[in-house]
Amino acid sequence: MYGPPPHPAPYGSPYGAPGGYDPRYGYGPPGVPQNPYAQQGMVTSQETNAVVLGYVLMLFVGFLGPLVVYLVKKNTSRFVRHHMAQALNYQLTMLIHLLALGTVCAVPAILTGKPAFLIPLVLVYLELLFGGWVFPIYGAVTGGKGKWSRFPTFFCLRMIR
């Protein structure tokens, strides 16, 4: 399993040369970062400030802060676009969670007149309560450090890119 390939390529090929790599192992050429969210170019302090501003505004004014930053910076910075699209996707995903479970719970509660069907809405409330603070703070910290990060897919479906 480890060690040289079972059938090395001829010496003249790029993969058989000393110090070369073999693409069959999937590691890629030397010097290429394996993490797709690795630093993709230099991130300026202006970009990190815009990302932190967008996430902090998300705590106070909801989706409007990231939306304004996204619309202003989407064509000038891939880094800011990525983070603000992620913030907007988080807000949209939470809205979808609330509407979906609210519809599923409200219809039986109205038809039967029993408010007990509304108890599962507590889960969405807790999700909004804790996630509404955890994810913007996480995004602001990682974005402030100039790192590319992603929220878990359950909380952040990629709708805006």
Nearest to 69 by CA among 47, 90, 91: 47
Whole-model pTM over 0.75: no
Nearest to 83 by CA among 58, 117, 112: 58
CB 146 within 8 A of CB 113: no
Chain centroid, CA 151 distance in Å:
4
C-alpha span between 2 and 92 (Å, rounded): 46
pLDDT in the model for residue 17: 47
Q: How confident is the model at residue 13 (pLDDT cuts 50, 70, 90)?
A: very low
Angle at which helices 121-144 and 78-112 cross, to 10°: 170
pLDDT exceeds cutoff 60 at 32: no
Q: How confident is the model at residue 161 (pLDDT cuts 50, 70, 90)?
A: confident
pLDDT exceeds cutoff 50 at 23: yes
pLDDT exceeds cutoff 90 at 26: no
> Which sequence spans correspond to the domains of the chain?
1-30, 44-144
